[in-house]
A and B are shown apart, each in its own frame.
Chain A
Amino acid sequence: MSITKDNVLHVAGLARLDLSQEEVARYEVELNDVLEFMEKLNELDTQGVEPTTHVLDISNVFRQDIVEASSDVEEILANAPDREDDYFKVPSIL
């Protein structure tokens, strides 16, 4: 598998990265290098092997349905880059 410029642009779109042209060119090379390095895994026979998503063998970690206080709205908005009244404000959705 080799990565083309279009692949880079597509992935950058998925990842919401507005890459510059130089970045696109650079990542085309670097991603190919890294992915080639990762091809190593193909040598490994994984037939019949279960994937490990959690190394710790635990399950059913639940919380009781009991209300606790929410945060103060001023605290919630304290780090907001922009706000309007008690809302987070963002540019328009086109």
Chain B
Amino acid sequence: MNKGYEAVIGLEVHVELKTKTKIFCSCTTEFGGSPNTHVCPVCLGLPGVLPVINEKVVEFGVRTGLALNAKVPNYSKFDRKNYYYPDLTKNFQTSQFDLPICEHGFLDIEVDGIVKRIGITRAHMEEDAGKLVHSGKTISSSYSSNVDYNRVGVPLLEIVSDPDLRSSEEAKEYVDSLRRILTYIDISDCKMEEGSIRADANVSVRKIGASEFGIRTETKNLNSLKALQKAIEYEIERQIEVLEDGGVIEQETRTWDDEQGITLAMRSKADAHDYRYFPEPDLPPIILSDEYIEEVRASLPELPESRKKRLIEADGLSDYDANLIIADRHLADYYDQVRKEISDGKLIVNYLMGDYYRELGEAGLSFVTSPVKPEAFIELLQLILDKTISGKIAKEIIPIMIKEVKSPKSIVEEKGLVQISDSSELEGMILEVISNNPKAVEDYRAGKGNSIGFLVGQVMKASKGKANPALVNELLKKHLC
């Protein structure tokens, strides 16, 4: 397939920042809203208006830079990127050119158990554009277009990777890891379906061993991880084929057609790459002190990679379990809170990812929307650990905790589910089970050790699950010998 070629891939990921207001005006960033209702003179670019920077955008830019191991320079500024398109309101995008909010970072990804370091060239702040709604089925068959400017001015961070990726799997892993970090530092929802994270892929191929890069194409419109992978794979194959047929790759912008599963050349304009950048005269520069940068650094949460290491090394979790927990910041935080009181990490994972997770799903909830606070979960595990309830009772309690939002203790009390650990209370039931099951008793005495399990089960049943199974086992053995 690869005919001795290797792919060289770099990604430009646009992330919508989770601020309340737009980057240069006080309009809401809320998704949806009927057309042109989240618009004011400033984001509409009416003649005479001026931008004012949202301080949160700068803070989020710094957070991201630090989380991506990048340098956050003390001096940064905005520039105008000039090009005409009806989804822009000023016919320039206010962006950052030569002095972005951060540069020279990296991100470690793991593919097939191997950790690979991917360079981050830079991340810069900029504004989003509006939305074009075409009247026809496709852009080219439309006789007119309608424009909704609600998204104009929504803050974006454009994160540019070095051309360090070599396969579509690596690209997917990169976006996944990036997404995880960005949700950890709480700067974006990273919802691909709402367009709050979008990727453009720069792809080229070269003969293995070659040191020069091949000519690259840029593929846009990749709004799912699947599309990203498929488009990259398609582009790699297409380019190899062109080269093998003796052709040359055009440096061009292509678009992913999800229906056909192919990339298509976009009509390339001669001026497409002459953006006439110049410093934005309406915005003074941003000068960040070292103290400010360190303050932001101190406010960062523990990032996924370091958490994973801790879960494996300190809590003794398996790689698999650790991955499950760190996949979601909310889950990982939840785990950590429970872990403060419950030292058995494995037990936490078993309950968190087992019955609790399943019951949440059935109730149409997630870890984020669950009404069960960590305190309640801790209480549940403590009841199990101090043998107040059995695992079986715990399974019964979990759905009630979710549905009725009650503490496990109160459920246990209300329903009388306390485990019977008093041997005198159990004696009667045990004698009754022994006399009612002569066959099993006979078997056990004849050396079939596992028939005791049946007898334990019978006692548990008689106690409506409340008996302490270990104690029942012990008492049975005493009576049967």
Contact = CB atoms under 8 A, between A and B. Distances in A.
A4 B369 CA distance: 66
B284 A60 contact: yes
Contact of A66 (B21, B41, B148): B21
Interface string B131-150: 01111100110111111110
Interface stretch (B26-34, B406-414, B452-460): B26-34
B390 to A, nearest CB: 51
The secondary-structure label for the interface of chain B is loop
Contacts of A46: none
A14 B274 contact: yes
Interface stretch (A18-26, A36-44, A79-87): A79-87
B26 A63 contact: yes
Contacts of B28: 67, 70
B399 interface: no
Interface residues of B, number: 51
Contacts, number: 127
A73 B148 CA distance: 11
A77 B37 CA distance: 10
A71 B144 contact: no
B229 interface: no
Given A59-B286, A86-B36, A93-B132, A67 B26 contact: yes
Contacts of A64: 54-55
A70 B28 CA distance: 8
Nearest to A63: B52
B471 to A, nearest CB: 59
Nearest to A14: B271
Contact of B52 (A62, A73, A91): A62
A10 B21 contact: no
Interface string B6-23: 000000000000011100
Nearest to B30: A67
A75 B270 CA distance: 37
B40 A84 contact: no
B261 interface: no
Contacts of A70: 27-28, 37-40
Contact of A59 (B40, B140, B285): B285
B362 to A, nearest CB: 37
A54 B280 CA distance: 9
Contacts of A65: 19-21, 54-56
A90 B142 CA distance: 11
Q: By CB atoms of chain A within 10 A, which of B77, B271, B287 has the most?
A: B271
Given A92-B143, A93-B86, A86 B35 contact: yes
A62 B58 contact: yes
B15 to A, nearest CB: 17
A56 interface: yes
A14 B285 CA distance: 28
Contacts of A61: 52-53, 283-284
Contacts of B286: 59-60
A54 B285 CA distance: 9
Q: By CB atoms of chain B within 10 A, which of A58, A59, A94 has the most?
A: A59
Contacts of B274: 14
Contact of A58 (B55, B270, B284): B284
Contacts of B35: 73, 85-87
Given A70-B40, A71-B39, A14 B146 contact: no
Q: List the 5 closest pairs (A to B, CB-CB), nearest first.
A: A87-B146, A68-B26, A62-B55, A65-B56, A53-B279
